[in-house]
Amino acid sequence: MGVLLVAVVLGWLAPARASIELDWEAPDECPTEPEVRATLQELLGSAQAREPVAATARVQRTNTGEYAAHLVVEMAGHRSDRDLVAAECDALAEAAALVIAVTVDPAQALDDAMAPVDAPAPAIPEPAPVEPVVVDPVAAGPGSPPASMPSARAAPPPRRATTRRIRGVHLRAFGGMDWGSVPAITGAVGAAVGIHGRWFRGEAAGSWTFAREGGAPSEPEARGRVGLGALAVRGCGVPAWRTLEFPLCAAIEAGALQGRGVGETVDPSSAHRPWVAVAFGPALAWLPIPRLAVVVGIDAVMPVWRARFLIGDEQVHRPQPIGVRAGLGLEFRFQVPP
């Protein structure tokens, strides 16, 4: 009876062990949820949570190739939000596990994370490079470390993509088709240079639409070839998801239509007419690697002034009120230093 009573009392005095719930969502190349749990267990060792802990992490790959995570940790009615950024997803997962471990047991987690590595020689080893991630202790809740405690990793402040409006510059070469600017469906080529951020892009582009032949229905011999050279300024909003971007763009372009009489025309001379148009349309960009994008898009093109080409009194071409232009391009991206 006495032994049973002692066992009951000891069981009542023993610290209760609470669960640690983890909801981890990340790209396929990142550590899985079981791997993150294993890292968390290594940091905690034998330490256990006295209160239930719920952690949620959402990891995304940014336009610059880095990995960003929004981490929410809840314990005993207190909630802590953290934004973590790292060049490698493995390092980001370790940082997230460390934040959760610090919430459960600051002393044990920080002691394991900062434990020195045994060295065979007495010489002081050079410090190993660390990922640019700073993990602050949880701000509130039971088991929170003092505000003066240093960060778990001694590293410079992280380069957060959201702190820089302009992330890089890009160069793109493209080709496609055009209908409505010249007498018939034709091809077009061009190049663009611009800047881009997380949610926007702006660029200047030059293009050449190949000349096509047109004629007057009432005068078969009155024929001319018309081509188009133009420069455009374009701005886009850019929603993104993982390695896909969905630019929604508007542009204004100016240039010249170049016409020349061909065949047995009444007047086989050349002429130029001004071209001013606005364009609107969506695009899709896929980044198989961080510095390269494949871009496909389609635009509705509306001339502000529809110039006419005449041979004698016969009209051989006038741009359509609304044209269509589609293109496929290869884009190279270069990161801007912070």
Q: Where are the domains of the chain?
A: 2-158, 168-335
Q: Print burial letters for 243-265: b (CB count within 10 Å at least 16), e (below 16).
A: bebebebebebebebbbbbbeeb
Higher pLDDT, 288 or 161: 288
Question: 230 or 102, which is more confident?
Answer: 230
Read off the pLDDT of residues 112-152 as tens digits, 9 standing for 90 and up.
Answer: 555 554 444 445 555 555 555 554 544 444 554 444 444 44
Residue 49 pLDDT level (bands cut at 50, 70, 90)? low
The stretch 257-263 carries a mean pLDDT of: 87
Mean pLDDT estimate for the chain: 80
Phi and psi at residue 35, to the nearest 5°: -70, -40
Predicted local confidence at residue 8, as pLDDT: 42
pLDDT number for residue 164: 57
**Residue-level pLDDT at 296:** 98
More confidently predicted of 211 and 20: 211
Mean pLDDT of the region 288-296: 93
Average pLDDT over residues 310-332: 92
> Which of 3.40.640.10, 3.40.50.2030, 2.40.160.20, 3.65.10.10 is the CATH number of 168-335?
2.40.160.20
Residue 107 has pLDDT above 70, yes or no: no
pLDDT number for residue 11 = 47
Q: pLDDT tens digit string along 53-93? A: 888 989 988 888 889 999 888 887 788 888 988 888 888 88
Asked whether the predicted pLDDT for residue 17 surpasses 90, the reply is no
Q: How many residues does the chain have?
A: 338
